[in-house]
Structure 1
Amino acid sequence: MSSPTTRESTREAFVQTELAGMPRRLFRASPSRLLAWVDCPRRYRMQYLDRPAPAARSQRAHTSVGVAVHNALRDWWDLAPGERTPQAGAELVRTSWIETGFRDVAQSLEWRTRAQDQVTAYLHDVDPGEQPLGIERTVSLKTSVLALQGRVDRLDDRPDGLAVVDYKTSRVAPTDDDARTSLPLALYAAAAWKMFRRRCVRVELHHLPSGSVAVHEHTGDSLKRKIDEAESIARDARRAEQDYAEFGTDSGRFPASVGPLCQWCDFRAHCPAGQAAGPEKSGWAALEAPVAVPRGDLRD
């Protein structure tokens, strides 16, 4: 349970923003934070509100793969144009590799080789001279409700406008419908459009294991609908956080969303409801079969 001192200071911060005549404080969040609320309010509370935060389980292998690949593709653009070869990308995977979460050294080496092969194949189709507008670029967007900040894997400056590119390393290839429905991609596009004053409606999911690209072209109206969706989530989360400021972990606004994803949750050790949903998945389970894992457990 949160300490009285912590609850009192949090409550006071909320009260100060509600004084008559003062503008309402914007709800600050990233797309991943908003989706964490949608996925499971209990996990959201433990991850973002509880202090001290409950200890999370160690990183899983599929996350280690994703982080290493993302880092390699980021660092590749820091090389001189003449050094940006597919083989250089493979070497960057090797030097950025993370051993955490694998069953053993042999499995780690097997997946490092796979990741190197995937990055090599992907970079064969990337023009090293076409410098993106942004790599791991932080973008932000403010509305009357929300102050949003997130990080785009790659932001391309193309003749018909900006394009948001997101790398994926999961076993299952994303579809065009995944690109269409993705809340983070839409919010990144809206933020980039506002920041750079250039039209940005195209979002792409680049899946390295298959080499496929899932694409969606938004419109101004569809981006507005996604912003409205984000604001609705933010309002719900704000109300819950205000209740938390009053009641701490006794608040009833953070139920566990019990289901198969509980087997993957980083905080299941602190959630009896989640533990009852089934045995915990191993650190390398996502490498062995196409399965759904929590969105907060992925590199987005």
Structure 2
Amino acid sequence: MSSSKRAAALSPSRIGTFRNCPLQFRFQVIDKLPTKESQVRQRGTLVHAALEHLFDLPAPERTFSAASSKMEEAWEKTVSEKPDLLTELFEEDKSEENQFLETARQLLANYFQMENPDRLSPAHREKYLRVTDKERLNLHGYIDRVDISPTGLVRIVDYKTGKAPAERYIAPYQFQIRFYALLWYLTQGELPARLQLLFLKDRQVYTYTPTPADIDATSEEILAVWEQIAAQARSGYFPPRRSPLCNWCDYRAYCPLMEGTAPEISSEGVAQLLTVQADLEDETSL
């Protein structure tokens, strides 16, 4: 009999969190502990919204001024929906809010030095894909933009609001964009011709041409990570991992590395997580 509760799914961000720190993954995904609002996250959301809605406009109207207006509209909507957000982010300091918005505008200005949006006709924006792969794992993700050429060639584009990493740190970004290529391949039956990351802060572009071997390697990589996650979920122990990111972690009060105390793991959260692997009986009953 089919379950009415939708199974959990793995995404690039969830896998990235686990690789960075399994305990952080547990707090976020299994225990669902609350997090604080972040200027970095809010800025990224704003810039993505502006670039998404910029393409609602006719090509000649896709200017920096229009993108800035789209961003301001998104910010006003966010603040109206979350009345406490301004205090959380800026402690009601208007100058800090202005600086926050100015840095977001600069990222948009950088974008216009990297692409000419009036020459683009995206086939999809914020494209959500969800699929069960050959290992019966549920995978999902949002693709910022999909361009399809007149000849049918597909380019997957992902916006990053931070700086481009040094070459030795590019692997997590490569994995994310290859994850999107895998989603596209499994849902559309074709391999994207090009994968592209736009690092807006320093105007760097990373371009990659995926191969069938990349698809297989990414599938194997996801399965290997999932096996680690599942084993830790069944044991109930997700080890903490120290890194430079610890100072910015939302869960320091619960982390033993920071002299915190972790709450008891959520059994309900563990059960929900383990449904990331599709149930054969449920699938065959559809």
Matches for 1:1-300 after TM superposition, within 5 Å = 28-50=9-31, 53-56=32-35, 58-97=36-75, 99=86, 101-102=89-90, 104-123=93-112, 125-128=115-118, 130-141=120-131, 142-158=133-149, 159=151, 161-170=153-162, 172-174=163-165, 178=170, 182-243=174-235, 251=236, 253-274=237-258
Aligned with 1:128: secondary structure? Answer: helix
5+ residue gaps, structure 1, are 1-16, 18-25, 244-250, 277-300
The letter for the 2-side match of 1:116 is R
Change (3 A) 1:255 1:175: closer
Shift of 1:201: 4.5
Q: 76-85 or 181-190: which moved more? A: 76-85
Change (3 A) 1:173 1:161: same
Assess if the C-alpha contact under 8 Å between 2:59 and 2:118 holds in 1: yes
Partners of 1:179 and 1:122 lie apart in 2 by 23
5+ residue gaps, structure 2, are 79-85, 261-286
Partners of 1:179 and 1:134 lie apart in 2 by 26
Shift of 1:71: 0.9
Partners of 1:36 and 1:59 lie apart in 2 by 17
Assess if the C-alpha contact under 8 Å between 2:182 and 2:218 holds in 1: no
Identical-residue share of aligned pairs (%) = 25
Partners of 1:147 and 1:62 lie apart in 2 by 29
Aligned with 1:173: secondary structure? Answer: coil
Query: Structure 1 length normalisation: TM-score?
Result: 0.71
Change (3 A) 1:63 1:27: closer
Q: Which residue of 2 aligns with 1:284?
A: none
Q: Which residue of 2 aligns with 1:281?
A: none
Alignment: residue pair count: 241
Q: 161-170 or 190-199: which moved more? A: 190-199
Partners of 1:110 and 1:74 lie apart in 2 by 23
Change (3 A) 1:48 1:139: same
Change (3 A) 1:84 1:179: farther
Query: Structure 2 length normalisation: TM-score?
Result: 0.74
RMSD: 2.7
Residue by residue over 1:199-235, the C-alpha shift from the partner in whole angstroms, topping out at 9 and shown as x without a partner, is 3142211122222211122211022112110111011
Assess if the C-alpha contact under 8 Å between 1:163 and 1:200 holds in 2: yes
